[in-house]
Each structure stands twice: as C-alpha cells, then as structure tokens.
Amino acid sequence: MDDDVVLSAPLFAAIDPEASQALFTSMKPLRLPRGRAVFHEGEPGDRLYVIGAGKVKLGRRSTDGRENLLSVLGPGEMFGELSLFDPGPRTATATAVADARLYELSHAELIDWLERYPAVAKHLLEALARRLRRTNEALADLVFADVPGRVAKALLDLSTRFGEPADDGLRVAHDLTQEELAQLVGASRETVNKALADFAARGWVRREGRAVVLLDMDRLERRAR
C-alpha cells in the first residue's frame, strides 16, 4: 500500500524496479501511533527509516527541558541516517505526530545496498545537502528574521510536504499542537499564536485546529523574506 511512496525515496532513485522491490520487501514495516517515539536523542543507532504514511517530528531537548523541533517529515522521507554516515549517537528524538507507518533498514543492509548500487550515494548526498541548506536557512532566520517571518516560512515549508488544494487555498494538515508549532519556529507559544492570529485577521490564513489553510501565498511569501 505504501510501495509507491517509499519507492520514491532517494534510496531507490535510478534503481531497476526489481532490485528496488527486493530491498523494499526486505525492510521491516513498523506502526507508530501518534505520540510514540521510535528512538531518542543520545541513543546508539543502527537503522534508518523511510516514512510510508503519517508524520514524524525530529526534536532535541535542552538540559533545562525545553524542546526544539528540527523538522517534521512526511511520506517518502528518510531519517536515522546521520548516525551511520557520522558514527555516533542519535542526534534527535523521532516521534510520530500523526499515526505513522515506517519501513526500517539496518545500517549494514544500507552499506550492502550502496556497495551494490554506488549511484544511490549521489541521491542520498543530494537529500543531505538539501537538509543542510534548509537548516542553514533556519539558523539564519533565527538570527535575522522576526517571529512572524519565521511563522510564515514554517507554514510555507510545511505546505511543500503536507499541502492539499482546498476550495479557497492550500490546506496544510500539519497535525502539530500550538506548542509543537512554536518549537518548530523557535519562539514562545504566545508569540507564535499572535503572529497566526494576525495572519488570520489579514485574511492570509484560516486556522482549523491542527491544520491551517493558506489563503494568500504571495503575502506569506513576502512576509517570509
């Protein structure tokens, strides 16, 4: 059922369908209910995961207990590879924010796969470079952009993964609580809420529980710059 979306991951790019299917079949499926973690920051890690369905947040916790979200990933995306490419403990905790189905691959199997199909390494590097680009941008925004600008950017970023056309705009069912949205933006819940309320008052967005409908992409894009 998740075949197509998992087979669209960089891990399978440019590989013949038979070999891709064989690797996919060897991956262990795993169900992760909302709120459950698949691994925690600091643990040793020897496997990576491709998301077949649902959403997974990657978060880090400071010593005083505050949380920061690095990213929220969706179907076709991979995580858990860093502790393979740079051996060391998990760099973040991975938790389902919506019921998820994951496909697990051990690092040993990944190494075998890369030895058989070295061209896959290029696609994995592309995915890592994209992630680094995004992280650099988020870091610069933390220093240079104000909270409403960061909220606008976070909404646009979430829309590239989870946006679905609606009658009057693009509906982004992010499944994040207000607290989690604030952790993603790197600001307090109150300030993020204020920015969202302001966007709604201007008619740029409409809030719907754990979703938001983007009504004026142009204005949001300009606000995110």
Q: Provide the binding-site residues for ligand CMP, judged by CB under 6 A.
A: 45, 58, 70-71, 79-83, 90-92, 94, 131, 135
Give whichever of 40 and 219 is closer to ligand CMP, judged by the CB atom. Answer: 40
Give whichever of 110 and 145 is closer to ligand CMP, judged by the CB atom. Answer: 110
Q: Which residues pair with 164 in a beta bridge?
A: 171
- Cα–Cα distances (Å) from 92 to 4, 111, 194, in that order, read 27, 22, 28
Q: Which residues pair with 171 in a beta bridge?
A: 164, 213
> Rounded to whole angstroms, how far apart are CA atoms 214 and 156?
8
Least gap, CB of 69 to ligand CMP (angstroms): 9
Tokens 């020897």 sit at which residue? 46
Q: Which helix (H) or strand (E) holds 39?
A: strand 37-39
Least gap, CB of 33 to ligand CMP (angstroms): 20
Give whichever of 18 and 86 is closer to ligand CMP, judged by the CB atom. Answer: 86
Give whichever of 135 and 177 is closer to ligand CMP, judged by the CB atom. Answer: 135
Report which residue type is found at 92: A
Contact 102, 52 (CB under 8 A): yes
Give whichever of 13 and 127 is closer to ligand CMP, judged by the CB atom. Answer: 127
> Rounded to whole angstroms, how far apart are CA atoms 23 and 27?
6
Least gap, CB of 145 to ligand CMP (angstroms): 17
CA 171 to chain centroid, in Å, comes to: 17
Least gap, CB of 78 to ligand CMP (angstroms): 7
Q: Give burial (CB, 10 Å; 0-12/13-18/19+) of 214.
A: buried
Least gap, CB of 116 to ligand CMP (angstroms): 22
Contact 127, 10 (CB under 8 A): yes
> 10: which DSSP letter?
G
Least gap, CB of 77 to ligand CMP (angstroms): 9
Give whichever of 116 and 134 is closer to ligand CMP, judged by the CB atom. Answer: 134
